[in-house]
């Protein structure tokens, strides 16, 4: 089986002039390398070069009968010869377009290839290797695969028209891409103008006019598709504009509160509040975060936050979520005040069942704990048919048991809280899973961004309109940002309104994340930065 290599005008001059652009290898070098590689792949190469359009057209026609595929560097004909384009098309063979130089980085007339849509691919910019890469790709993906792949159950006529459809789509895509890039350039000019005048990037009224004009141009049947297309184009264009503005740190709302360098630290935290009492999981977490600090127990999570806002303590440690029980709703509610997350740690949690001395597991009728701990042990509770009593914190459960003095009532709490109260452990780990973990956070009054920050947490409130959540999430996708988590919580005092808590994987002051913040701060009714923080293993 033969592979034809076609080189177009002036390529016979390779190695004789212009080595900067085309290297110092000659056409003979190209042809012998190509022939050797084709032989390795099990094909015979036929090499052809001409400076004349008609001769190239003629050669392509002949290849219909003689070759299994073609690699072509059509030289400058690439950019304007419809005759060569049509000749490639009539071969019906897989044809790979190659170029020595990267035509997309050169003069603009070289950016267009009129043969691209009738070729299976284009490889440009790898010097003499473009020929080899093109050959490998052609053989492996379009000749060998085709012969080994089971033929789909469609007639050859259908195959032809499918191929034609694909070519048409390739051609249309390449026009769309050119136009879209042109549009992006104009958007950049708009951003520069708005940067100078301070004008808003998002202009809902203008976008609605664009949408209704677009709808007006097409039939009702295509209206929705055209609207979605235009909205996507406008969103991506806005993203480019916000990116430009945020990199100049101009004209921003949310990003104005961000420091320009991430050099914050928790070094000055001397006094820390936590919800619960000595022996609680929160105390253990607070100790993990701050081995040297003075720790102050508070009756509730809300009291701990009050101590922070009233400047009685420098930080608060709170449980945010659990791997079995999910989000700790009260903490999410508290975070909606202007408080910030400065660190997190995931701490394994094992709840035990503890009773009065002399109690036995088989006689227990009621268990007492925080609702989160009860839900983390729900399998055991349901299987045993126990009634449940809620208390404010797992660490308060032992006190409840002591005060009740009833051997049929047991606490679900940490081993240390049980032992401290003098209770006996009736069962060591009553959790539904053996890998139960709680995420604890350090909360501060100010935003502290440490250099090792890896997670950005925000609260967003969305407009009440169709597609609001998905188009907001698209901003993160477009900025190549990974969402580590999202959950919704009711907004206090606003019935049936919800705030979305979003965790984003982003290194401290990452520029894509800043651009996203800049954009969302303009486009959403509310955007609050909750923190840009790292894990607790290295406390700064
Ligand atoms: O980069 C390529 O391979 C090109 O196809 C080369 C063409 C050019 O018109 C295309 O835009 C890109 C030109 C080949 C000219 O070759 C010369 C070789 C040596 C000295 C002068 C020209």
Across the chain, how many H-helices and E-strands are there? 18, 20
Distance in Å, CA 503 to ligand 1 centroid? 50
Q: What is the pLDDT of residues 283-319, one digit of tens each?
A: 999 999 999 999 999 999 999 999 999 999 999 999 9
Q: Is 99 annotated in the active site?
A: yes
User: Residues 122, 128, 132, 133: is their CA dihedral positive or negative?
Assistant: negative
The pLDDT, as a whole number, for residue 200 is 79
What SS3 state is found at 73? strand
Burial track 211-233 (b if 16+ CB lie within 10 A, e otherwise): beebbeeeeeeebeebbeebbeb
**18 touches ligand 1 (CB under 6 Å):** yes
Distance of alpha carbon 271 from alpha carbon 84, whole angstroms: 78
Cα 354 from chain centroid (whole Å): 45
E strand residue ranges, 15-132: 44-49, 67-73, 95-99, 121-124
DSSP single-letter state for residue 24:
S
The pLDDT, as a whole number, for residue 343 is 96
**72 touches ligand 1 (CB under 6 Å):** no
Distance of alpha carbon 344 from alpha carbon 319, whole angstroms: 9
- Which residues on adjacent β-strands are paired with residue 46? 4
Domains parsed from the chain with CATH numbers? 2-150 (3.40.50.9100), 171-252 (1.20.59), 261-348+437-535 (3.40.190.10), 352-427 (3.40.190.10)
The pLDDT, as a whole number, for residue 539 is 40
**443 touches ligand 1 (CB under 6 Å):** no
Distance in Å, CA 76 to ligand 1 centroid? 7
Sequence-distant (≥ 6) Cβ neighbours of residue 175 within 8 angstroms: none
Of 105, 7, 85, 12, whose CA–CA distance to 48 is shortest? 7
Of 468, 467, 446, whose CA–CA distance to 525 is shortest? 468
Q: What is the pLDDT of residues 320-356, one digit of tens each?
A: 998 888 899 999 999 988 899 999 999 999 999 999 9
Out of 56, 72, 76, give the residue to mutate to test ligand 1, the one with the largest number of ligand atoms within 8 Å of its CB: 76
The pLDDT, as a whole number, for residue 146 is 65
- Residue minimizing CA distance to atom 20 of ligand 1: 17
User: Which of these is catalytic: 82, 99, 351, 396?
Assistant: 99
**279 touches ligand 1 (CB under 6 Å):** no
**101 touches ligand 1 (CB under 6 Å):** yes
**115 touches ligand 1 (CB under 6 Å):** no
Q: What tokens appear for 329 in the block?
A: 């709703």
Neighbours of 528 (CB within 10 A): 21
The pLDDT, as a whole number, for residue 338 is 86
Which string of DSSP letters, residue by residue, matches 466-503?
A: TTHHHHHHHHHHHTT-EEEEEEEEEPTTSTT-EEEEEE
Q: Which atom of ligand 1 is nearest to the CA of 130?
A: 3
Out of 6, 8, 103, 104, give the residue to mutate to test ligand 1, the one with the largest number of ligand atoms within 8 Å of its CB: 103
- Residue minimizing CA distance to atom 7 of ligand 1: 75
Q: What is the pLDDT of residues 237-249, one digit of tens each?
A: 998 988 887 776 5
Distance in Å, CA 140 to ligand 1 centroid? 27
Distance in Å, CA 181 to ligand 1 centroid? 25
Q: Tell me the pTM.
A: 0.64
The pLDDT, as a whole number, for residue 225 is 94
List the chain residues with pLDDT less than 50: 538-540
Q: Is 202 annotated in the active site?
A: no
């Amino acid at each position: 089986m033969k592979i034809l290599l076609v080189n177009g005008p002036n390529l016979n001059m390779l190695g004789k002039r212009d080595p900067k652009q085309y290297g110092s290898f000659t056409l003979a070098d190209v042809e012998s390398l190509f022939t050797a590689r084709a032989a390795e792949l099990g094909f015979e190469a036929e090499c052809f070069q001409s400076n004349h359009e008609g001769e190239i057209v003629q050669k392509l026609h002949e290849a219909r009968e003689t070759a299994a595929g073609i690699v072509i560097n059509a030289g400058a004909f690439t950019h304007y010869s419809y005759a060569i384009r049509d000749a490639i098309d009539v071969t019906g063979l897989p044809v790979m377009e190659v170029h020595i130089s990267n035509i997309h980085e050169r003069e603009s007339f070289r950016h267009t290839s009129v043969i691209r849509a009738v070729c299976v691919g284009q490889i440009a910019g790898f010097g003499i290797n473009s020929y080899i890469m093109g050959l490998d790709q052609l053989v492996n993906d379009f000749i060998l695969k085709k012969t080994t792949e089971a033929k789909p159950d469609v007639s050859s006529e259908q195959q032809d028209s499918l191929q034609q459809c694909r070519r048409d789509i390739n051609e249309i895509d390449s026009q769309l891409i050119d136009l879209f890039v042109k549009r992006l350039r104009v958007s950049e000019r708009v951003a520069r103008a708005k940067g100078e005048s301070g004008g808003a990037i998002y202009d809902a009224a203008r976008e609605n006019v664009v949408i209704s004009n677009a709808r007006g141009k097409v039939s009702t049947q295509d209206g929705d598709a055209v609207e979605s297309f235009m909205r996507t184009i406008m969103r991506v264009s806005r993203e480019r504009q916000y990116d430009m503005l945020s990199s100049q740190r101009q004209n921003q709302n949310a990003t104005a509160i961000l420091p320009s360098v991430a050099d914050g630290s928790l070094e000055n935290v001397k006094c820390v509040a936590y919800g619960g009492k000595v022996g609680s999981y929160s105390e253990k977490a607070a100790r993990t975060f701050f081995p040297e600090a003075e720790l102050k127990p508070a009756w509730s999570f809300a009291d701990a936050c009050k101590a922070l806002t009233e400047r009685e303590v420098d930080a608060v440690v709170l449980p945010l979520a659990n791997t079995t029980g999910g989000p700790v709703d009260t903490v999410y509610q508290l975070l909606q005040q202007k408080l910030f997350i400065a660190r997190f740690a995931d701490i394994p949690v094992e709840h035990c069942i503890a009773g009065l001395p002399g109690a036995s597991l088989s006689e227990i009728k009621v268990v007492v704990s925080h609702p989160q701990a009860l839900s983390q042990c729900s399998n055991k509770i349901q299987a045993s048919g126990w009634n449940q009593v809620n208390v404010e914190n797992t660490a308060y459960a032992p006190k409840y048991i002591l005060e009740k003095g009833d051997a049929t009532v047991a606490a679900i709490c940490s081993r240390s809280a049980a032992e401290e109260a003098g209770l006996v452990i009736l069962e060591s780990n009553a959790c539904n899973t053996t890998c139960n973990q709680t995420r604890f956070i350090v909360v501060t009054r100010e935003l502290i961004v440490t250099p090792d920050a890896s997670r950005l947490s925000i609260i967003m409130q969305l407009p009440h309109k169709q597609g609001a959540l998905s188009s907001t999430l698209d901003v993160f996708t477009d900025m190549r940002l990974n969402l580590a988590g999202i959950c919704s919580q009711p907004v206090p005092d606003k019935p049936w309104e919800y705030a979305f808590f979003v965790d984003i994987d982003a290194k401290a002051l990452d520029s894509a994340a800043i651009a996203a913040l800049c954009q969302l701060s303009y486009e959403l009714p509310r955007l609050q930065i909750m923190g840009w923080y790292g894990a607790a293993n290295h406390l700064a």
